[in-house]
């Protein structure tokens, strides 16, 4: 509850875990930036796995961040945001009032589903003038996963054969554009058949409908698998990796992620292939995205856009796994 004279804002508050009914848009105190932070007026935000998992309260480790038995008081979800800087702390030097920026807030307290959020200046990247706020909000988390998964951990090479599982979502539609930029020609995208048009528009020349075919049972082998779903065992992935193949997961089923992590640590004794679970370093690659965007070599695919008042519908669509590309919520009418 706020008192008379206090400055308030509208924000999405998570009251308890388990259901979208536990989300509500309420008036809460407008935050004030610390000395190394900026106050960001949020224009748009994207829905991510973080937000769906936080709402459900599963996997259980999410409660280490959000609160064990119930969400922390006035917990505001939201990871990917874009907006304009309203105010700067006294030690902020890189940005000024009115600057247009975007960021992934997963390492600095979340809070993107609100009219305002505070963030450290080091988490922010300037938005190119030609990039819309909706596009900017769709990029940070997905692009970080794609860049670090393909290049830093996956060590992709131009002459290799690559498979991306979850190719019709945010990470997958950016990964294909990044791979094409790097000169990779042989790339297969895996997702549900209703996302085939989205996958092809992003650049996948060949697609596999996972509801019809299990790629781990097909004869083709790959140098690199980049996986956003992780629904199989490491042995299944190993079967379709070449001799020096690599498997990198950026998310998926907790039980399978644990198995991949064990294969990463101990699998060299039993499996000749390399396995890795990506631990994302948020925001560090966004200048790469800016450069590619400016050269017209990368464009995020926006599958659905919702007004702030319909944010529960946006999260529900994301949780159904039927979304194509990114799901965006506009905080300010665009």
225 within 8 A of 241, measured Cβ to Cβ: yes
240 within 8 A of 225, measured Cβ to Cβ: yes
Q: Who's near 247: CB < 8 A, 6+ residues apart?
A: 224, 225, 227, 234, 237, 238, 241, 260, 273, 274, 275, 276
pLDDT at 254: 84
Q: Please state whether beta strands 8-14 and 23-29 pair in parallel, antiparallel, or not at all (unpaired).
A: antiparallel
152 within 8 A of 121, measured Cβ to Cβ: no
User: Domains in the chain, ordered, with CATH?
Assistant: 8-139+300-330 (3.90.180.10), 142-277 (3.40.50.720)
Give pLDDT tens digits for 117-158.
999 999 999 999 999 999 999 999 999 999 999 999 999 999
pLDDT at 2: 47
Residue 76 has pLDDT above 90, yes or no: yes
85 vs 96: CA distance, rounded Å: 7
250 vs 90: CA distance, rounded Å: 37
Instruction: Return the bridge partners of 261, or none.
Output: none
Give pLDDT tens digits for 231-288.
999 999 999 999 989 999 999 888 888 899 998 888 766 667 899 999 999 999 999 9
Report which of 132, 58, 153, 122 is spatially closest to residue 326, judged by C-alpha positions.
132
Give pLDDT tens digits for 302-331.
999 999 999 999 999 999 989 999 999 999
**This prediction's pTM:** 0.93
327 phi, psi to nearest 5 deg: -105, 125
52 vs 77: CA distance, rounded Å: 9
What's the per-residue H, E or C state across 152-187? HHCCCCCCCEEEEECCCEHHHHHHHHHHHHCCCCEE
> What distance, in Å, lies between the first and last C-alpha atoms of the chain?
30
pLDDT at 193: 96
H helical segments located in the chain = 49-56, 63-66, 133-138, 140-147, 170-181, 196-202, 234-239, 254-266, 286-294, 311-319
Residue 172 has pLDDT above 80, yes or no: yes
231 within 8 A of 252, measured Cβ to Cβ: yes
What's the per-residue H, E or C state across 258-283? HHHHHHHHHHHHCCCCEEEECCCCCC
pLDDT at 59: 75
């Amino acid at each position: 509850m706020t008192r008379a004279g206090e400055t308030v804002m509208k924000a999405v508050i998570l009251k308890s875990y388990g259901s979208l009914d536990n989300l509500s848009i309420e008036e809460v105190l407008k935050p004030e930036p610390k000395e190394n932070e900026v106050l960001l007026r949020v224009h748009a935000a994207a829905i991510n796995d973080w937000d769906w998992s936080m709402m459900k309260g599963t996997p259980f480790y999410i409660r280490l961040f959000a609160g064990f038995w119930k969400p922390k008081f006035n917990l505001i979800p939201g990871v990917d945001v874009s907006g304009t800087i309203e105010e700067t702390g006294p030690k902020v030097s890189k940005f000024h009032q009115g600057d247009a920026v975007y960021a992934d807030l997963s390492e600095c307290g979340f809070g993107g589903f609100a009219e305002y959020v505070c963030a450290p200046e080091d988490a922010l990247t300037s938005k190119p003038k030609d990039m819309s706020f909706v596009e900017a909000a769709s990029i940070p988390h997905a692009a970080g996963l794609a860049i670090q998964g393909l290049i830093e951990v996956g060590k992709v090479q131009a002459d290799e054969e690559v498979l991306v599982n979850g190719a019709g979502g945010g990470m997958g539609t950016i990964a294909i554009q990044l791979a094409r930029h790097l000169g990779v020609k042989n790339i297969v995208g895996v997702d549900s058949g209703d996302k085939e048009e989205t996958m092809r528009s992003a650049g996948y020349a060949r697609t596999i409908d996972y509801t019809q075919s299990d790629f781990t049972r097909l004869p083709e082998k790959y140098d690199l698998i980049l996986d956003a779903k992780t629904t199989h065992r490491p042995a299944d992935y190993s079967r379709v990796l070449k001799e020096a193949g690599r498997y990198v997961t950026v998310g998926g089923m907790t039980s399978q992620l644990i198995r991949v992590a064990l294969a990463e640590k101990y699998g060299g004794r039993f499996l000749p292939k390399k396995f890795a679970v990506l631990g994302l370093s948020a925001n560090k690659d966004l200048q790469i995205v800016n450069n590619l965007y400016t050269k017209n070599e990368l464009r995020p695919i926006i599958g659905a856009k919702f007004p702030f008042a319909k944010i529960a519908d946006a999260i529900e669509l994301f949780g159904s796994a039927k979304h194509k590309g990114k799901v965006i919520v506009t905080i300010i009418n665009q």
